[in-house]
Every structure is written in structure tokens, then in C-alpha cells.
Amino acid sequence: MVKSINELEINHSDEPIRLFKSDFLEFFTHVHPAVVVVIWLPVALYFLFAAIVRVVPGASAWYIPGGLAVGVFIWTFTEYVMHRFVFHYHPHQLWAQKLFFMAHGVHHAQPQCKTRLVMPPAASIPMALIFFALIQLIVGIIFGLPQWVSPLFAGFVLGYLSYDMTHYATHHLPMHGKALKYLKRYHMLHHFKTPDQRYGVSSPLWDIIFRTKPAE
């Protein structure tokens, strides 16, 4: 079992790498990108709607677009931290190596596998519940701003959606426009040249801030 993303050999086979002997468990490791939209777009819209209907008549609702923007911004940081420190963690224990290979190493070993480009609901739903609880605790309780919770979480989910769809597009869709072409090239360089740099997928912002964006 490999100890680093750098040690993975690219598998060009059209047959996906099998992760489980059980057909039942293996089924849940493959996800069509439409599943992400079907699950998470209604969630984002629900929390946005909840924020709007809770506005007191005559009161300012400026915090709703503000919360959406902050939520997306928080997601970009979350995306970077998870990709760099969780997905690219290099454990020494054999069982942990297998676990992290299933979580992200398999994507680097077979980057063009269409059904392993977005996060499976079995992973994304528990993570979303954890992040919602954190936002509720920190923003709603500690800072005493409960009205910000719904728009913040809506923005966070929309940020996640844009990340997963961008990730799929960089691997399998033609990218038009200077910005989208840049993101595609940026992510391909992460896979095929600098696997321990360029962790941003939807944005290179945090790579620039934390100096994990190499000189061109």
C-alpha cells in the first residue's frame, strides 16, 4: 500500500479500481455528479428560503446576501484545509493507508474515473451535519447571531456544490473562458505535476495565501 500520493501510479483502465469485495459496499463508492445537485441544491434553497421568511417586516435583510457570501468564503477555506491536511495526509499505519486511499488516493490513482469525482453522500451528509452544528454553535450561540445561521449554511452548501461541479468539469467537460480554462489547467497540474501543491479546486486563493501555489 502506498504511503504518499506521490507514489501512486496512474491507472488508465476504463474499469474502476475496486475498493470493496462486497458489491453492496462497492456500489456506494460510485456517484453520478447529478446526485450531488439533486441532494444539495434543495438544501441550499431551503436554508435561503428559511432566512428570507424569518426577516421581520420592515427590518433590514442585508445579512442574507452577506451571510451567503461569507458562507461561500468559509467553504473555500474548508475545501483547502480538507484537501491539503485530510485528503493528502500520509499515515504510517497500514489500515490508515487503506482508509485514506479509499478516501482520496484512488482518485489520484485513477483521476479520470467519472463516478469518483464527487463526494459520496455517505461522506458528505455526515460532514454537512457536523459543519451545520459548528455554525449553529459558533455563530448562533457564541456570537448570538442566530439569523445568520441559515444564510451562512446556504452559502456554505452552494460553495460545496460549486466545488464538486468544478471538480467534475475539470476532469470531464470542456472549459470555456479564461478563468475556467485556468482552473482546469491548475487542477491538472495538481494531479500530474505537483500533487503536494495546488490544493484549491474552485479557487487558488488559499494556495496563494499559504504559499502552496508554485511559481509557474
Distance (Å, rounded) from C-alpha 75 to C-alpha 153?
Answer: 10
pLDDT tens for 35-83 read 999 999 999 999 999 999 988 777 788 999 999 999 999 999 999 999 9
> What's the one-letter identity of residue 25?
L
Q: What is the largest CA-CA distance in the chain?
A: 62
Mean pLDDT of 185-212: 95
Statement: residue 2 has pLDDT above 60: no
Statement: residue 200 has pLDDT above 60: yes
Question: Could you give the residue ranges of the DSSP H alpha helices within the chain?
Answer: 23-27, 33-53, 63-81, 94-100, 106-109, 121-135, 149-172, 178-192, 205-209
Grid cell listed for 194: 505537483
pTM of the model: 0.90
